Structure 1
Amino acid sequence: IQKLCDRVASSTLLDDRRDAVRALKSLSKKYRLEVGIQAMPHLIHVLQTDRSDSEIIGYALDTLYNIISNDSEEEEQEENSQKQPEDLGSQFTEIFIKQHENVTLLLSYLEEFDFHVRWPGVKLLTVLLKQQGPQVQQIILVSPMGVSRLMDLLADSREVIRNDGVLLLQQLTRSNAAIQKIVAFENAFERACIHGVIHFSVVGHLLHHPLKITILIVSSIRNSGPVEVAKYQKCGNECIVVEDCLLLLQNLLKNNNSNQNFFKEGSYIQRMKQWFEVGDDSAGWSAQKVANLHLMLQLVRVLVSPTNPPGATSSCQKAMFQCGLLHQLCSVLMATGVPADILTETINTVSEVIRGCQVNQDYFASVNAPSNPPRPAIVVLLLSMVNERQPFVLRCAVLYCFQCFLYKNQKGQAEIVSTLLPSTIDATGNSVSAGQLLCGGLFSTDSLSNWCAAVALAHALQENAVLKEQLLRVQLATSLGNPPVSLLQQCTNILSQGSKVQTRVGLLMLLCTWLSNCPIAVTNFLHNPSNIPFLTGQIAENLGEEEQLVQGLCALLLGISIYYNDNSLENCKKEQLKQLIEKRIGKENFIEKLGFISKHEFYSRAAQKPQPSFSSADHMMFDHEFTKLVKELEGVITKAVYKSSEEDKKDEEVKKTLEQHDNIVTHYKNVIRVQDQELEELKKQVESLRVQNEHLQTTVTQQVSQIQQHKDQYNLLKVQLGKDNQHQSSHSDVAQMNGVQPEEISKLHEEIEDWKQKLDQLQEQLREKDSLIETLKLSPVSGETTEQASQTNKPSGPETDSEFHKHVEALKSQIQLQSTDITKLQTEKQELLQKLSVTPVSVSGDNGTMVGKTADLEGRLATLLQETQELKNELAALSEERTSLKQQLDSSNSTIAILQNEKSKLQQEVAESKKEQDDLLVLLADQDQKIVALKNKLKELGEPVEDEDDLDAGDQGDEEEEEEEEEEEV
């Protein structure tokens, strides 16, 4: 090795140096330590100086990889391999990255397209990240375009480099939020959507259906030959590259809110639905397929994890419901033939998708199992939870699913409790309800079923005082011939029978949850005279370490019975129970036993996360929500036990006073809220009336414009009628001046008859023209009113009448021509023109025509007058309606003014009540100061005064100050 190193360092010929590096590579696997110590500086020098020769660079990179890598499988394949220290690779990595220029030099070699340079460089950088991840990540992060160079590896046309590039990015993005953001915004998500043919673009395997390997096939057609296409068609979703990409995607999204938001806004959640279209796969479930689907489910959980910010989790949950992903997950949940571990992870995934989301919880409640008859999915899952033959992890998953279904879901809680109430139980017994399954598990012989059922029932009561009271109505028939007992009594009976520790812990957690913040339940519990002696006996005994947990829970239950006691039972008042503790247990001993709970190892594990995760069934002791309850009550119970009766009375008085003031303030707040709502409604009505008034004003303006137009039409027709009358009178005068001779009457009659026939023909034509004019006139006139209502400036009646008169004048001109011919005949026979016998006939014909025209005009005039009268009536009605609207508006304004005055009065009353409350608190403070002064005087006079009372008085003063601060905040 030393000779080879000398050749690398001193040889001037490139071939000699290349052969020496090749020899070092062959020895590097078997003699890692020797080659690493002696050859590493020379290999780094080769990388710096011989960049032009890709072959020697490839050998140098491979040698460094063999030195740094701790691949045990390759070492075992060597027959005479020596045992190497486990941290040898880490030590060599530390030496290599001590000079940051070495990592930068390695990044530059990743830009080389030569396969013999790029591939060894990718492997070497991957192993460096495995050995010293944070240090190498920091170097890459500060290197110019460092992350971008690594992302370019995914665009390589060679499959090996693409796949190893994914592995490199896995190591690079591990536990580094800054690099995760850079990788995500380097189009790590977008490439798979836009360039769907590139299956190696980080998540290209993921964002399309893994079971349908379209991306892989298309990519292979583009970049590979037919052999690789067949290989991808065979591997499908069982390809290990899919697993690598899923792991990379998990690194990018886990605990990274920015990337999660980017993933959601990019609509990638909608594409995840296709992952779970499992269908009927006759080929079965291979190990790789199970691993891939398991990672896909975990990826969904990353987006809706309870540790994420509530807003981000809620938005992802809603998106999963809207795109149908939740429906698809429920289909996998209810499918047959699904492996147990996949089913368990699916249950956990559905749990977190519905946790705290009311819409998703309602949908899950409506899901039915494909059975005959169909049964709710919740019932089917609970059957698995209380069945001791089911796997332990599956039962834990079902419990977690039930807890998530009830989390912040009062509707679901009420539905579960209602299945236990007497009025809703199915009398036929044909169907099993969720409540019946929980009661069955609660009283079964399997301790794990007891614990799971107790915790599940406790979650149905979580933060719901109404259901705690309703559950007191549940009656159980324990055996034939015996009267039914309440569920509360049956729990205490089983507890006193000395069952297994796990069963007693579950029942005690249920009772503590049930009695907390429910005085009625506490009264029912204390009504049984055997409960308190049992608890004090359990706490007072000196038992083994296993029983300490039970003792602590008994102390907690007894403390809850004191703290939430309303003193309604004469024999079990607060003071009497505290005296009992002091006599039989001792206050210090009681507090010590109470502290056993929070000091227990299982308590610490359960408090970490909501999901139950235990190595074995024996370790299932505490529930996550119960740990919150213990943390909340431990301090207040300790104070309640140490308080004296006088302090309790003072606290009760102050509490009642504060409650009264709070009730008054709440009442006035409700009144003000209602008045605000009424005020808003009145404002909306006023706004609506204002808009309606404006609309009516616009309508009135349009109607006035229409009336004016009709008036103009009326005046025009009236003028035309006057002209026609003048024309008629002139014809009469002319007729009186003309005369005809009696001798020519017969000839003139004959000619007149001829002309009459012609005139009749012309009049017939005139009637046809009039009918045509009337037809044309009716169509514009019918549309005229509508057009005038919307456009006041549109021309109407006068133009139509002018056209009509043009036609009439044309016909009159024809008649005038005929009259001219008649006049010519009369001129030739002057002797006959002096006779006036013909004149009446002519005048009668002209008068008949004019009379018809006059009648027509008078009819049209009457119609216009009638329309004008109707418009006047409508205008008067609109004016009256406008007046009434103004009156309503004035009335609304007066009502608003009255409500505002009432609101100001109420606010003044609230201020006065708060002032009275402050005065009361000042009075209480003065009284405490007087008490302290009197005690000091007693001490000066030599009277014995206990220091504990002084301490309690100080504590009382602190509590009063805290209450005063809370009151000021209110």
Structure 2
Amino acid sequence: MDFKLGRINLNKVAQGVGGFVFGKDTSNSNDDSYVQSLLERIKKREEEDNKRIEALDELQSVVEESVSAQLAFGELGISVLMGVIKDERDNEKMVKGALEALASALTPIAQEGGVKNEIQPAMMNSDLLCREAENISLISSLLDLDNFTVQYHTLQLLTALLTTSPNRVQEAILTIPQGITRLMDMLMNREAIRNEALLLLTYLTHEAEEIQKIVVFEGAFEKIFTIIQDEGGAEGGVVVEDCLVLLNNLLHCLSNQRLLRETTGFEPLISILMLESKVSKFSKQKTSNLLRALEIIELLLGGGPAAESGKDTDRISNQTVLFQKNLLDELLMLGVENQRGAINLRCSALRCIGYLVFGHRQNLDAFASKILGEEPNVEPALNSILCILLRASSAQEFVAADFVFRCFCEKNSDGQGLLASTMIPQPQSMSHAPSEEDINMSFGSMLLRGLTVSETDGDLETCCRAASVLSHILMDNIQCKEKVLRVELEAPIPSMGAPEPLMHRIVKYLALSSIKLKDGNQKTSAKDSYIQPVILKLLVTWLADFPEAVHCFLVLRPHLTYLLELVSNLSVSVCTKGLAAILLGECFLYNKSIEKTKDASLVVDVISDKVGLTLYLLKLEDLQKSFVFTSTKEGLRDIMTKIDDINDETDWKHDEHPVLNSLFDTQFVDLVKKLEESLRESIVEISSNLKNKVVSLPVELEQQSGENDGDYIKRLKLFVEKQCTEMQNILGRNATSAEALVKTTGSDSAETKHRMTEGLDNVQTDKLRKDLQEASQQVQILKSEKSKIEDDAYAHRSFAEKMKSDLKSLSDAYKSLDQAKSLLESEIKALKLETKQNPDLDTIKEEAKEEGRKESEVELNDLLVCLGQEQAKVEKLSSRLEELGEDVSSLLEGVGDDLEMPEDSDDDDDGK
């Protein structure tokens, strides 16, 4: 028995909540009766303590291993064990056994084969226990006992409750006076208790803002940082990680962020990220600790571009203070200068750099001028991050570095202009220089080299990555678009041709990627599946609202032909076809050319002839429904978590590659949506004009021989009137068809892919559709507000009903008291009345005594008469016996003794 208890204790300490104990192999059919019998033994207090403790140990073993035993435990088990805790709290072994058994009954058991039962006994038991708030209060009160074992198992039980019924336990803890204070005191206890208290507080503060505020008020920040320092900071063990998880929970509350910023400060947090040198080694636990610290940094910085607008003030304040405390230096050391850390650690540091500078003018300027390294090998930080982006072997690291440039360029026109101004082509000889020479290049030269490096080795991956950076530089910045448009590259072989614009080179690489996808194997296709969409993203961004770029694109007729083939290609992804359709649309939407061979009408005519307007508009619609565009609605923070699972060897589907999910940010998605709406309107407008403004002169217009001038003029007038009428009819039908086409493609019906809808819809359908969408959104908002109001009303109604019930109970109690009072008053009145009616008691007593005395005298007289008569008889008989010669004295001897014994006994009794 002692050996079994020892195993339980050791495993509990080693494994935390639950432990692992080898119990009896009882079948499901016997579990119910077996558990019931154990509970009966525990319940009998007349039993020896050893037998009851043994029953507790057996109960703990069986409920830890058997789901059916947990189900049989139920309400009876909770009642019995809570009774032990309540009534026998001085019995350490009994309380310890009850706590262990309860913890096992509340811990879910993993099912074999991963099959989950519909009924979760552990959840049911937890719900039963939490149903009474007094139970939580009773368990929590055990922490006041100065007993290590009881405190340890109490913390484990509360943690088990929080894992299954967090909301109820959180509510119950809030109602317990000094409940959270008691838990906070455990952090200063011995190590084992402290560690369990840390774990408990981590669960307790999860998504509970009120508890978070109370915990911080109780001095959580100072205690957490003290523990981290005592454990060795980032070099510490899992306790440091638990502290950082708890700190993360607490800082989800904005008021706690302000308190930390204005009191303790961010220095203790930043000190965790400090590395001793650039070649520091990283253990697995150290990496976990650093990742937890970076998660807190990301939380303080508000999530960058995906941050909520209401948090801007706190975000900017945190950015300012963290930058002043040299956080950027530590992040650059982790993410850029030290390449020995794990990939996810470097990526997390890069993302934090992006969050630190996003939308903060001073931080952006300081970051732009930041220099890394030591003389003479110094390099701008932006150049170093660009090198990582272009050379990283992991797509995950590429995405993280790209995120830095997105945060740097978004809403930073000065920064975009700074980067664009450095895009000066290098001589052809420099393009073949080794990568080590990059340190001597400007940012723009390195970027151009990345865009064109595929010319020599055929690797379009580097070109794709550079294109993503360039798209950030060009986004919503006409000046940058103009600068980059003027960039011309030397031909691979100078003698073979003149320099060509950068745009034409990029389109050539786009066409090359189509060939590689067509000819490549499955592994290569999976890796390159995001290359075409990323290059198309650059071109779409470049041509948006920039007619000069459209003109440059259409200079070469094969560009338009290639896009038409790409839109119609069945082997490419929906995303690629949709972006190609958007790019085609920009060719007529922003086309200001007056040349008849390049104007907007010609592009629309070509689309109509080669693709068909119906199919073209369907490509736009499919793009909006693609996984890449719908997933961006989740927000950048949710998408970035998926990057951790990127594997270049994975056979991702075309439109589901995590790289696309992260690179197609909200800013670009909004741009595409606006372009789609403009394209639909532009198609209607262009189709309403003449398709061909050059009209050949019909033979009928020539003057016939013998026809005088008057007749000729009349005939010309009739011909012109007829042509005008026909032309107006054609224009009307053309406009009507275009409008019907736009409306028809908005439908999800399968028939829209094969034929146009017959008949005319209302011209204002598009406007009504927009109004309907806005109304639907408003309805959703109202529904959510209504739901919230209903919840509040329900809560108030429940509170009112409870108050009404309490008031009724008080009223009933007052009525009962009034009735009891009235009854007592009536009894008092009756007693008083009865007392008045009765005679004097003393008189009655005297009369009774007198009557008794008289009766006694009469009885005494009668007795004396009888005695006299008997005495006379004795004397007469004595004289007669003497006459007969008898000795009267001898005859009477002994007669008196028989009569005296009862009298003596009576006397003795009276004495007693």
- TM-score, reference length from structure 1: 0.59
Asked if 1 retains the 8 angstrom alpha-carbon contact of 2:234 and 2:273, the reply is no
Q: Does 1:402 align with 2:405?
A: yes
- 8 Å contact 2:687–2:734 — kept in the other structure? no
Query: Deviations 1:583-633 (Å, cap 9, x if unpaired)?
Result: 332222111111222212133334534475543445123521322322232
Q: In the TM superposition, what whole-angstrom CA distance separates every residue of 1:691-742 from its partner, at most 9, and x where no partner exists?
A: xxxxxxxxxxxxxxxxxxxxxxxxxxxxxxxxxxxxxxxxxxxxxxxxxxxx
Local SS of the residue matching 1:204:
helix
Instruction: Tell me the residue number matched to 2:504.
Output: 489
**C-alpha displacement at 1:405, in angstroms?**
2.2
264, 275, 279: which is aligned to 1:278?
275
Would the aligned equivalents of 2:323 and 2:363 in 1 still touch at CA under 8 Å? Answer: yes
Name the counterpart of 2:89.
51
- Could you tell me which residue of structure 1 aligns to residue 579 of structure 2? 553
**Aligned residue among 319, 325, 332 for 1:323:** 325
Q: Identify which of 669, 693, 696 aligns with 1:627.
A: 669
Deviations 1:244-284 (A, max 9, x none): 10011111223x33332333233522433322221149984
**What corresponds to 1:432 in structure 2?**
441
The two structures, once aligned, show a CA RMSD in angstroms of 3.9
Given the superposition, is the C-alpha separation of residues 542 and 504 from structure 1 closer, same or farther in structure 2, using an over 3 Å criterion?
Answer: closer
- The answer (yes or no) to whether the contact 2:684–2:735 under 8 Å persists in 1 is no
Instruction: Give how far 1:334 is off.
Output: 4.6
| Contact 1:270–1:325 (Cα < 8 Å) also in 2 | no
Opposite residue 552 of structure 2, the aligned amino acid is N
Q: Residues 429-578 of structure 1 correspond to what in structure 2 (within 5 A)?
A: 431-443=440-452, 444=454, 445-480=458-493, 481=495, 482-497=497-512, 498-499=514-515, 500=517, 501-539=529-567, 541=568, 543-544=570-571, 546-578=572-604
Equivalent residue of 1:643, what SS?
Answer: helix
Q: Following superposition of structure 1 onto structure 2, how do residues 123-162 of structure 1 map, counting pairs within 5 Å?
A: 123-155=156-188, 157-162=189-194
Indicate how the Cα distance of structure 1 residues 469 and 49 shifts in structure 2: closer, same or farther if over 3 A, else same: same
Name the counterpart of 1:5: 39
* 1:675-714 mapped onto 2 (5 Å cutoff): none
2:119 matches 1:119: no
1:165-244 equivalence runs, <5 A: 165-189=197-221, 192=222, 201-206=223-228, 213=229, 216=230, 237-244=235-242
Residues 477 and 85 (structure 1), Cα distance of their counterparts in 2 relative to 1, 3 Å cut = same
Q: Indicate the residue corresponding to 1:733 in structure 2.
A: none
Q: CA deviation at 1:104?
A: 2.8
Question: Is the 1:488–1:525 Cα contact (8 Å) retained in structure 2?
Answer: yes
Question: Contact 1:203 / 1:249 at 8 angstroms: preserved in 2?
Answer: no
Partner of 1:595: 621
Cα-to-partner distance string for 1:737-775 (whole Å, 9 max, x where unaligned): xxxxxxxxxxxxxxxxxxxxxxxxxxxxxxxxxxxxxxx
Question: Residue type matched to 1:202 in 2?
Answer: I
Q: CA deviation at 1:153?
A: 2.5
Check the 8 A contact 1:173/1:179 in 2, yes or no.
Answer: yes
Please list the CA deviations of residues 409-436 of structure 1 after superposition, one character each: whole Å capped at 9, or x if unmatched.
Answer: 2222122212224699999986223223
Which string of whole-angstrom CA distances, capped at 9 and with x for unpartnered residues, describes residues 153-201 of structure 1?
224x322111111100111112233332332333322xx1xxxxxxxx2
Structure 2 CA distance, aligned partners of 1:41 and 1:162? 29
Contact 1:334/1:370 (CA < 8 Å) preserved in 2?
A: no
Partner of residue 195 from structure 2, selected from 163, 183, 187: 163
Partner Cα distance (2:734, 2:336) in 1: 75
The reply on whether 1:99 has 2:132 as its aligned counterpart is yes
Q: Deviations over 1:639-697 (max 9, x none)?
A: 22233566999xxxxxxxxxxxxxxxxxxxxxxxxxxxxxxxxxxxxxxxxxxxxxxxx
Instruction: Kindly provide the CA deviation profile for residues 357-378 of structure 1, in whole angstroms up to 9, marking residues without a partner as x.
Output: 2222222222223264312222
Contact 1:354 1:361 in 2 (8 A): yes
Using the alignment, how far apart are the partners of 1:301 and 1:957 within structure 2?
Answer: 42
The answer to whether the 8 A contact 2:70-2:105 is kept is: yes
Separation in structure 2 between the aligned mates of residue 107 and residue 554 of structure 1, nearest angstrom: 64
1:832-873 Cα shifts (integer Å, max 9, x gaps): xxxxxxxxxxxxxxxxxxxxxxxxxxxxxxxxxxxxxxxxxx
Deviation digits for residues 19-72 of structure 1 (CA, Å, limit 9, x no counterpart): 543553455545564366244432122223323434322221111112222477
- Using the alignment, how far apart are the partners of 2:71 and 2:771 within structure 1? 71
Equivalent residue, structure 1, for 2:706: none
Looking at structure 2, the residues matched to 489 and 326 of structure 1 have their Cα atoms a distance apart, in angstroms, of: 38
- Work out the CA distance in 2 between the residues paired with 1:543 and 1:961: 35
Between the aligned partners of 2:263 and 2:429, the Cα distance in structure 1 is 49
Q: Which residue of 1 aligns with 2:840?
A: none
Q: C-alpha distance in 1, partners of 2:688/2:57?
A: 92
Q: Please report how far the alpha carbon of residue 570 of structure 1 lies from its aligned counterpart in structure 2 after TM superposition.
A: 3.2
The answer as to whether partners of 1:587 and 1:642 remain within 8 angstroms in 2 is no
Amino acid at match of 2:185: D
1:418–1:424 contact (8 Å) kept in structure 2: no
Residue in 2 that maps onto 1:310: 312
Deviation per CA, 1:483-530: give whole Å up to 9, x if none.
110011112222234244433222211000001011221222223222
Q: 1:599 to 1:382 in 2, by over 3 A?
A: same
Could you say if the C-alpha distance between residues 631 and 406 of structure 1 is closer, same or farther in structure 2, counting changes exceeding 3 Å? Answer: same
Distance 2:145 2:125 in 1: 25
Q: TM-score, normalised by structure 2?
A: 0.62
Task: Note the C-alpha offset of 1:467.
Answer: 0.8
Aligned match of 1:247: 245
Cα pair distance change 1:616/1:332, threshold 3 Å: closer
Q: For residue 30 of structure 2, what is the aligned residue in structure 1?
A: none
Shift in CA distance, 48/85, structure 1 to aligned 2, threshold 3 Å: farther
CA 466–944 in structure 1, closer or farther in 2 if over 3 Å, else same: closer
For the pair 1:69 / 2:84, whether they are aligned, the reply is no
Letter in 1 for 2:560: I
Q: Distance in 1 between matches of 2:42 and 2:372?
A: 72
CA separation in 2, counterparts of 1:648 and 1:273? 68
> How many matched pairs?
627
Q: Which residue number in structure 2 is paired with residue 742 of structure 1?
A: none
Residue 277 of structure 1 aligns to a residue in which SS? coil
Q: How many angstroms does 1:462 deviate by?
A: 1.1
SS in 1 for 2:144: coil
Indicate which of 56, 68, 74 corresponds to 1:21: 56
Question: Any residues of structure 2 matched to 1:712-723 within 5 Å, and which?
Answer: none
CA offsets, 1:284-308, max 9 Å, x none?
4322222111211221111112225
The residue type equivalent to 1:286 in the other structure is S
Q: Is the 8 A contact 1:303 1:313 kept in 2?
A: yes
The 1:312–1:564 alpha-carbon spacing in structure 2 relative to 1, beyond 3 Å, is farther
Q: Decide whether the 8 Å contact of 1:462 with 1:513 is kept in 2.
A: yes
Contact 1:70–1:86 (CA under 8 A) maintained in structure 2: no
Q: Counterpart of 1:643?
A: 685
Q: Aligned equivalents of 2:574 and 2:630: distance in 1?
A: 16
Does structure 2 retain, via aligned residues, the 8 Å contact 1:334–1:369?
A: no
Within 5 Å, give how 1:827-906 maps onto structure 2.
none
Render the CA deviation track for 1:380-403: whole Å, top value 9, x for unaligned.
Answer: 222222225x23322222122222
Q: Which amino acid aligns with 2:407?
A: C
Aligned to 1:803: none
Listed as ranges, the gaps of 5+ residues in structure 2 are 1-33, 518-528, 692-724, 741-759, 773-912
Asked whether 1:299 is paired with 2:321, we answer no
Matches of 2:767 and 2:62, distance apart in 1: 80
Q: One-letter code of the match for 2:557? A: P
Distance 1:186 1:406, change over 3 A: same
Partner of 2:384: 380
User: CA separation in 2, counterparts of 1:337 and 1:535?
Assistant: 41
Q: Secondary structure at 2:557's aligned position in 1?
A: coil
For 1:413 and 1:598, the matched residues in 2 are separated by 28
